[in-house]
């Protein structure tokens, strides 16, 4: 028993199909031989869910009804347009399976199956300049032009071209008339070809196509044989005379387009010595038949090309593109990634703009506090000046802090901390930077910090935290005066709170004053000889009022963009060293959405890793260029705490702990030496 369900507008089809089902769902019309009356849909949750998915998600029934009503009322006006190919909106109807029809006609009788869906190449090829490879176009043009080796092959070519100007230079080479003159004279001697004069140009014409030539050039003058003898020869030839001048010009244009490849109408009109309007008309007729396509292929404006030739160009172009997007090896990816991160010689950044760009790539990545300037930023920025970072922080462009939960903050049960660990300040506490304008990922409360963790910090730290909560951002002197503690106690308390991930400061020099023992002791020379406590206020890293749990989707998208900026190409394995509180599944959903928008590309860019990969378009182009450039033999040393320490993750080797006192070395993207101490350098 077959049943076909058609969701339609009631007013449109009710008179033709009286059988319908009623209820809480939209009207559904059914046609079946042995069913009378309304079809009752069982009130089962699964059936109701399926009906909802089919009618409102897979199809937009309400939208269809609105459109039909608007058509009926005249709000929407229907226009008929003749196109070379069926509209994309009709493909679903033309490709409908047998069960989509209400009649029992066999598949072979459906006229829809006789409609050619594609008379054009994809819009991505036809509509966008530069989609077709110039080398592929040149190769097809060379192979499409006749390769004449004797008089018979020249006769075949002339029958296709109808007329060949003696001055025409195929592929910008020598004139065809001078190359093939010996073969043509033999055809003239045999009465199979002749010369004709028109508009100051001599044409070679095959006797078989003499009538077609006269149809296109009615006032042409034959130079070797009279027109009557040529017409007699044409009667015994392979082709019949065109019935009109339009048909003659169409035949002439069709022959030339089949041998030229992409050509503009003005260029073809100049070659054939015919009005451009007649050439355009002939090309339009060929386009309507589906044998010629128009587009912009070589940046010369609107061009026309034989469909078969364009399909060959397209295939060659796809072959070139597929070769270019072949996945690179992990070593090639690592070699490119070091340049992407400005660690390779000659790629370093400079100035304040360079510091901001480096921090934009590194934001959200946690590294030991004492390694940031000495081992991470200084390797990316030529002539790194710490004052530039201070200006960016004080100006509100950049912020810093710890984002991953401290181990002492974990293990909360029923409002109490079950762990016995305490927050111990240390210079290797993990810290990260963030660009305030792009820190939506920071606004999501994913750190799982308990509301009251005073048992895990010192009394002085608890007092400073309470003071900041009640008074807001405060200078160091205000904290000393407000709590009544010694300066050294406030320093230790602030360092505890920074290590716990709850406090930050306006400037980065505030942090230097805490982790630099010389600064704390009032020692040092030159640039290091600064006051123990720099200008700038201390504040809560993320006040509770700023936490917006409803922005989780926006936060995940911000994390995805940060990873794209850091690695260019992102896949699951790269999350091994990240501290973002997000799963790959959540990132994958965002990456797919960005791919639909055209902001990223999906595919397989790096070989040897499972799952989908996503990349910035500029990163893909840069990765291809780096692969074509080949290895350089240079060795690049990075700190083990750097995000580029991907040994054992991207490239083979034993993983190196993210320790600020160790380094890893890469030669052409391959780890070439075991980690060694910075002190030994």
- State whether 188 and 258 are in the same domain: yes
Q: Which helix (H) or strand (E) holds 197?
A: strand 193-198
pLDDT at 144: 87
Tell which of 266, 289, 323 closes a domain. 323
CA atoms of 402 and 501, how far apart (whole Å) = 4
For residue 247, CA distances in Å to 134, 198, 228, 287, 608 come to: 33, 19, 21, 14, 59
The first and second tokens of residue 125, run together, are 């090829």
Residue 53 lies in a domain: yes
Length in residues, the chain: 681
- How does strand 662-667 pair with strand 635-639? antiparallel
pLDDT confidence of residue 137? 86
How, if at all, do strands 601-603 and 569-570 pair? Answer: unpaired
- Residue listed under structure tokens 């797919």: 592
The number of beta carbons lying within 10 Å of the beta carbon of residue 362 is 24
Q: Is 13 inside any structural domain? A: yes
- Residue 638 is predicted with a pLDDT of 92
- Looking at the fold, whether 138 and 260 belong to one and the same domain comes out as yes
For the record, the structure tokens of 187 come out as: 């055809």
Same-domain pairing of 203 and 290: yes
The pLDDT value given to residue 645:
92
Rounded distance, CA 501 to CA 522, Å?
Answer: 27
Closest by CA position to 256, among listed 243, 269, 247, 245:
269
Q: Residue 676: what pLDDT? A: 44
Closest CA to 666 of 643, 641, 646: 646
Instruction: Kindly state whether residues 46 and 163 are assigned to the same domain.
Output: no
Is 659 within the bounds of a domain? no
Last residue of a domain, one of 301, 323, 345: 323
**Burial of 555: CB neighbours in 10 Å, binned 0-12, 13-18, 19+:** buried
Q: Could you tell me whether strands 20-21 and 221-222 are parallel, antiparallel, or unpaired per DSSP bridges?
A: unpaired
Report the interhelical angle of 487-500 vs 459-471 (nearest 10°). Answer: 80
Q: Which of 630, 634, 645 lies closest to 675, judged by CA? A: 645
**pLDDT tens readout for residues 514-569:** 777 666 555 544 444 445 556 678 998 875 434 444 457 888 888 999 999 999 99
Instruction: Single out the residue of 2, 1, 46, 41 nearest to residue 20, CA to CA.
Output: 41
What pLDDT was estimated at residue 550? 45
Among residues 101, 111, 170, the alpha carbon closest in space to that of 138 is found at 170
Same domain, 175 and 295: yes
Q: Are residues 208 and 291 in the same domain?
A: yes
- Whether 256 and 141 share a structural domain: yes
State the residue range of the domain holding 59: 4-78
Query: 3-class SS at 562?
Result: helix
- Domain end residue (candidates: 280, 308, 323): 323
User: Do 251 and 187 share a structural domain?
Assistant: yes
Residue 231 located in a structural domain: yes
Mean pLDDT, consecutive 10-residue stretches, the chain (681 aa), reads 38 38 43 58 86 82 90 88 68 59 53 50 43 82 87 89 86 75 88 86 88 86 63 50 82 90 89 90 87 80 87 79 76 94 92 93 91 92 92 90 77 49 77 86 56 73 89 89 88 87 87 72 49 73 51 83 94 90 89 86 87 90 87 90 92 86 90 55 40
Residue 541 buriedness (CB in 10 A; 0-12 / 13-18 / 19+): buried
pLDDT value at position 16? 37
Residue 496 domain-assigned (yes or no): no
Residue environment code for 270-283, b if the CB has 16+ CB neighbours within 10 A, otherwise e: ebbebeeebbbbbb
Within this chain, do residues 68 and 181 fall inside the same structural domain, yes or no? no
Together in a domain, 240 and 318: yes
pLDDT for res 218 = 86
One DSSP character per residue, 31-54 reads E-TT--SPPPPP--HHHHHHHHII
- pTM score over 0.75: no
> How far does Cα 275 stand from its chain's mean position?
44
| Residue 677: strand pairing partners | 662
Provide the domain count of the chain: 2
User: How far apart are alpha carbons 24 and 390 in whole angstroms?
Assistant: 65
For residue 331, being part of any structural domain is answered with no
Whether residue 229 lies inside any domain: the answer is: yes
Dist CA 645 CA 639 (whole Å): 7
Q: Specify whether 141 is located in the same domain as 205.
A: yes
Q: Is residue 356 part of a domain?
A: no
pLDDT at site 521: 58
Same-domain check for residues 212 and 306: yes
Q: Which two tokens stand for residue 295?
A: 């587009």
């Amino acid at each position: 028993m077959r049943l076909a369900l058609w969701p339609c507008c009631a007013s449109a089809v009710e008179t033709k199909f009286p059988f319908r089902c009623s209820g809480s769902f939209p009207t559904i019309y059914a046609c079946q031989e042995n069913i009378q009356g309304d079809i009752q849909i069982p009130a089962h949750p699964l059936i109701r869910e399926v009906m909802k998915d089919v009618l409102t998600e897979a199809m937009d029934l309400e939208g269809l009804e609105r459109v039909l009503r608007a058509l009926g009322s005249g709000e929407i006006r229907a226009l008929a347009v003749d196109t070379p190919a069926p509209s994309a909106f009709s493909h679903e109807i033309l490709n409908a399976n047998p069960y989509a029809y209400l009649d029992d006609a066999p598949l072979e009788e459906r006229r829809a199956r006789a409609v050619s869906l594609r008379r054009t190449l994809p819009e991505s090829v036809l509509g966008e300049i530069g989609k077709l490879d110039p080398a592929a176009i040149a190769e097809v043009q060379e192979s499409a032009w006749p390769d004449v080796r004797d008089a018979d092959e020249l006769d075949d070519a002339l029958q296709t071209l109808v007329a060949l100007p003696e001055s025409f230079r195929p592929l910008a080479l020598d004139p065809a008339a001078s190359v093939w003159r010996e073969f043509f004279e033999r055809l003239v001697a045999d009465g199979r070809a002749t010369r004709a004069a028109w508009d100051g140009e001599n044409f070679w014409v095959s006797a078989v196509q003499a009538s077609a030539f006269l149809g296109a050039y009615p006032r042409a003058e034959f130079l070797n044989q009279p027109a009557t003898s040529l017409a007699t020869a044409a009667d015994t030839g392979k082709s019949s005379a065109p019935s009109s001048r339009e048909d003659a010009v169409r035949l002439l244009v069709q022959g030339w387009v089949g041998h030229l490849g992409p050509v503009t109408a003005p260029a073809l009109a100049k070659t054939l010595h015919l009005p451009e309007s007649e050439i355009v008309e002939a090309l339009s007729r060929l386009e309507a038949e589906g044998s010629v396509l128009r587009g912009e292929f070589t940046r010369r404006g609107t061009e026309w090309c034989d469909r078969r030739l364009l399909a060959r160009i397209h295939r060659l172009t796809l072959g070139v593109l597929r070769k270019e997007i072949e996945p690179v090896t992990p070593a090639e990816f690592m070699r490119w990634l070091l340049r992407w991160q400005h660690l390779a010689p000659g790629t370093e950044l400079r100035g304040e703009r360079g510091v901001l760009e480096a921090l934009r790539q590194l934001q959200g990545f946690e590294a030991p506090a004492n390694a940031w300037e000495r081992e991470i930023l200084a390797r990316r920025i030529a002539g790194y000046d710490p004052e530039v970072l201070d200006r960016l922080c004080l100006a509100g462009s950049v912020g810093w802090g710890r984002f991953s939960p401290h181990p002492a903050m974990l293990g909360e049960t029923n409002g109490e901390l079950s762990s016995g660990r305490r927050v111990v300040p240390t210079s290797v506490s993990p810290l990260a930077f963030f660009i305030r304008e792009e820190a939506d990922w920071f606004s999501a409360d994913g750190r799982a910090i308990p509301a009251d963790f005073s048992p895990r910090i010192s009394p002085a730290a608890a007092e400073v935290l309470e003071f900041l909560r009640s008074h807001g951002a405060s200078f160091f002197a205000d904290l000393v005066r407000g709590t009544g503690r010694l300066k050294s106690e406030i320093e230790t308390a602030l360092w505890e709170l920074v290590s716990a991930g709850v406090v930050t400061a306006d400037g980065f020099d505030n942090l230097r004053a805490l982790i630099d023992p010389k600064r704390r002791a009032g020692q040092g020379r030159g640039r290091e000889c600064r006051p123990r406590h720099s200008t700038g206020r201390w504040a809560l890293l993320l006040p509770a009022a700023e936490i917006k749990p409803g922005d989780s989707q926006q936060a995940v998208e911000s994390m995805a963009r940060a990873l794209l900026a850091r690695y260019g190409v992102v896949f699951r394995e790269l999350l091994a060293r990240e501290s973002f509180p997000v799963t790959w599944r959540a990132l994958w959903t965002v990456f797919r959405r960005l791919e639909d928008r055209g902001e990223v590309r999906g595919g397989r860019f790096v070989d040897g890793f499972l799952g989908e990969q996503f990349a910035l378009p500029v990163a893909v182009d840069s990765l291809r260029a780096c692969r074509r450039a080949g290895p350089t033999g240079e060795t690049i040393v990075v700190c083990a705490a750097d995000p580029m320490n991907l040994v054992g993750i991207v490239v083979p080797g034993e993983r190196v702990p993210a320790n600020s006192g160790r380094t890893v070395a890469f030669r052409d993207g391959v780890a070439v030496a075991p980690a060694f101490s910075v002190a030994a350098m």
